[in-house]
């Protein structure tokens, strides 16, 4: 058998898997990026609430939840998250709140954030966050209607 045929025989199964409809089916419930398993790009979700700013988490304080790895800056923040992850995890699985309000998903920048009514919202960028902030109640209401259908 030629080298070309061997390569085709070896690579064909992988090509079929990666190009199958199932490979492109649903998005993950928590945004982690393409080549990562880190929620919030590795930032500490609890720090937004207790420090009032984004702080990078440490691999010393990790927790697996909802299909993603969550990092924290301290044991205290890790323990707080473990006790009630729904309270501290960003809305819409950490996908861009503006995008979800518009009916699709997009990545987020941990520096583009806002807490509204005790819930953390992330946006793609600070300029997108400015657009989202023009009608926060309306965008949240629409995002809530669209979530989690945008994952399909």
pLDDT tens digits, one per residue of 104-142:
999 999 999 999 999 999 999 999 999 999 999 999 999
- At 4, the pLDDT band (50, 70, 90 cuts) reads very low
Between CA 152 and CA 144 the distance in angstroms is: 15
Cα(first)–Cα(last) distance of the chain, in Å? 43
List of E strands, 44-103: 58-65, 68-72
Minimum mean pLDDT range among 5-9, 64-68, 120-124:
5-9
- At 9, the pLDDT band (50, 70, 90 cuts) reads very low
- In the 8-state DSSP scheme, what is residue 56? B
Q: What is the pLDDT of residue 26?
A: 82
What token pair was written down for 137? 């109640």
Find the radius of gyration of the CA atoms of the chain.
19
Prediction pTM value = 0.83
What token pair was written down for 93? 């699985």
- Strand (E) or helix (H) holding 9: helix 3-18
């Amino acid at each position: 058998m030629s080298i070309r045929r061997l390569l085709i025989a070896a690579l064909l199964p992988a090509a079929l898997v990666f190009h199958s409809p199932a490979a492109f089916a649903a998005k993950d419930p928590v945004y982690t990026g393409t080549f990562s398993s880190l929620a919030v790009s590795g930032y500490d979700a609890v720090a937004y609430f207790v420090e009032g700013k984004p702080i990078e988490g440490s691999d010393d304080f990790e927790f697996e939840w909802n299909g993603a790895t969550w990092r924290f800056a301290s044991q205290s923040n890790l323990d707080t998250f473990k006790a009630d992850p729904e309270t501290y995890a960003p809305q819409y699985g950490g996908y861009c709140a503006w995008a979800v309000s518009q009916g699709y998903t997009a990545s987020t920048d941990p520096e583009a954030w806002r807490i509204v009514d005790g819930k953390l919202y992330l946006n793609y960028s600070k300029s997108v966050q400015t657009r989202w902030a023009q009608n926060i109640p309306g965008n949240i209401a629409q995002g809530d209607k669209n979530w989690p259908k945008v994952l399909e």
